[in-house]
Amino acid sequence: MQSTTNRAEGAHAALKKQLTTPRCSLESLVKKVDTLVLKQYAQIKKSLEESRTKRMNSHLQIPMFSNLLPKVSIHALNLLENELTWRIDTLRSFGSTCGCQLYSGAGLLCACRLERLQNTDCVIQLEDIDIFWRKRDLNTSNIDEEDVDVDKQLEYVKQKLSTQPPQVRKSVLSKIMAVVNPYMSDKKPPVVQENTRGRPTSKVQQQRKEQAARDSSVGPPRQ
């Protein structure tokens, strides 16, 4: 039996199961879709209510989750718990790599990131969890309206940077300065080739190389 954690794929599979024939009238199709949507709505509402009120004993016993209760979906905490226990042990036993599937696919910390926090006795920050898992109601909301303590976040970044090597701090600082003051950046947009018909002659290729060499030798203007 195949299963999926993606609601869209799960709903699609459930709808195909309800459609017993490839040819279905519009009226029958609308009724079946409406029934499935109402059922899914009830399931989501129940899940959100449980995330607000229910506490799992296994989650309470993990110090790393202290900042997440009861602010994150129980399903997300279950995924993190599985990644933190079974998956990390499996990777250590077989010397495998993480692959970061949970991080790239679900917006949650994967095994390698959780292991780093575990080794330094750090807790998971709420900002490490994708906003999808932090929403606990069905009301429409604007992500930009989310309350964020900017000063607290800057202090957190500063503390983290203080433990990094000088090369890393310098690299991060240069990226921040490029955002704050983009005119100070020495990055230039790529040259757009206007005439793309045919292969350029040797003379044109040599001229482009010379122009690229001249451009790279010219630094940003001094203040």
The model's pLDDT over 56-71, given as tens digits with 9 standing for 90+, comes to 888 888 889 988 888 8
Distance in angstroms (rounded) separating the CA atoms of residues 125 and 122: 9
Distance in angstroms (rounded) separating the CA atoms of residues 54 and 60: 11
Distance in angstroms (rounded) separating the CA atoms of residues 138 and 48: 8
In the numeric block, which tokens belong to residue 61?
A: 């016993």
User: Per-residue pLDDT tens for 71-115?
Assistant: 888 888 999 999 888 877 777 777 777 888 888 888 899 888 888
The Cα diameter of the chain in Å comes to 74
Give the pLDDT confidence score for residue 80 in this predicted structure: 92
| CA angle (64 as vertex; 58, 65 as ends), nearest 5 | 60
pTM as predicted: 0.48
In the numeric block, which tokens belong to residue 105?
A: 């696919």
User: Per-residue pLDDT tens for 113-139?
Assistant: 888 888 888 899 988 898 888 876 666
Asked if residue 221 has pLDDT above 50, the reply is: no
